[in-house]
Chains A and B, each alone.
Chain A
Amino acid sequence: MHTILSNERIYDNICLMTVVGDFQAARMGQFYMLRTSRDAPLLSRPISIHNLEQDRMQFLYRIAGEGTRLMAELRGGDSIKLAGPLGNGFPQVKGRIALIGGGIGIAPLLYAARQLDKPDVYLGFQKQPYLTEAFTPYANQLTVQIGGSILEEVNFSHYDYAIVCGPLGMLKEAARMAEGLETKVYVSLEKRMACGVGACYVCSVMNKNGNRKVCTDGPVFLAKEVEWHELSL
Chain B
Amino acid sequence: MNLACNIAGIPFRNPIVMASGTFGFGQEYARLYDINQLGGIVSKGLTLNPRRGNTGTRIWETAGGMMNSVGLENPGIDAFLAEEMKFWETIEPVRIANLGGSSIEDYVLGAVKITKDTGERHNTHLRGVDMIELNISCPNVKEGGMAFGIKTEVAREVIREVRQATSLPLAVKLSPNAENIVDMAVMCEEEGADAVSLVNTFSGMTIDIHQRRSVFSNLYAGLSGPAIKPIALRMVHQVARQVTIPVMGMGGITSASDIIEFIMAGAEVVQVGTYNFMNLRAGENLLLGLHNFMEQENIQSLDEIRGIIG
Which residues of A come within 8 Å of B, CB atoms? 33, 35, 39-44, 66, 83, 192-204, 206, 210-211, 216, 230, 232-233
Contact = CB atoms under 8 A, between A and B. Distances in A.
B252 to A, nearest CB: 10
A195 B274 contact: no
Contact of A195 (B53, B65, B280): B280
B61 A41 contact: yes
Determine chain A's interface SS by DSSP, over half rule. loop
A200 B278 contact: no
Contacts of B56: 232
Interface residue tally on B, bucketed by range: 20 to 34
Contacts of A43: 59, 61, 66, 277-278
A192 B278 CA distance: 14
A136 B70 CA distance: 43
Given A44-B277, A200-B21, A200-B70, 8 more contacts: A35-B278, A197-B29, A197-B280, A199-B29, A199-B276, A202-B58, A204-B58, A204-B70
Contacts of B65: 42
Contacts, number: 92
A225 to B, nearest CB: 15
Contacts of A83: 32, 280
Interface string B185-226: 000000000000000000000000000000000000000011
Contacts of B58: 192, 201-204
Contacts of B52: 204, 206, 210-211
Interface in B1-58: 21-24, 28-29, 31-32, 44, 52-53, 55-58
Given A39-B254, A43-B66, A200-B24, A194 B277 contact: yes
Contacts of B59: 43, 192-194, 202
A194 B55 contact: no
B70 A202 contact: yes
Contacts of B276: 195, 199
Which interface residue of A40, A203, A230 has the most chain B CB atoms within 10 A? A40
Given A43-B277, A194-B277, A204-B53, A199 B61 contact: no
Nearest to A194: B277
A192 B57 contact: yes
A121 to B, nearest CB: 33
Contacts of B230: none
A35 B279 CA distance: 10
A42 B225 contact: yes
A199 B64 contact: no
Contact of A201 (B44, B57, B60, B61): B44
Contacts of B135: none
B271 interface: no
Contact of A199 (B28, B254, B278): B28
Nearest to B61: A41
A196 B277 CA distance: 8
B73 interface: yes
A42 B73 contact: no
Interface in B271-301: 274, 276-278, 280
B53 A201 contact: yes
A194 B68 contact: yes
Contacts of A42: 61, 64-66, 225-226, 274, 277-278
Nearest to A232: B56
Contact of A197 (B32, B68, B74): B32
A200 B22 contact: yes
Contacts of A35: 278
A216 B24 CA distance: 13
Nearest to B26: A199
Nearest to A35: B278
Contacts of A197: 28-29, 31-32, 280
A193 B66 CA distance: 12
Contacts of B29: 197, 199
A43 B67 CA distance: 11
Given A43-B66, A199-B28, A232 B278 contact: no
26 contacts: A39-B226, A39-B254, A42-B61, A42-B64, A42-B225, A43-B59, A43-B278, A66-B61, A83-B32, A192-B57, A194-B59, A195-B276, A196-B280, A197-B31, A198-B24, A199-B23, A199-B44, A200-B277, A201-B21, A201-B44, A201-B70, A202-B70, A204-B58, A211-B52, A211-B73, A232-B57
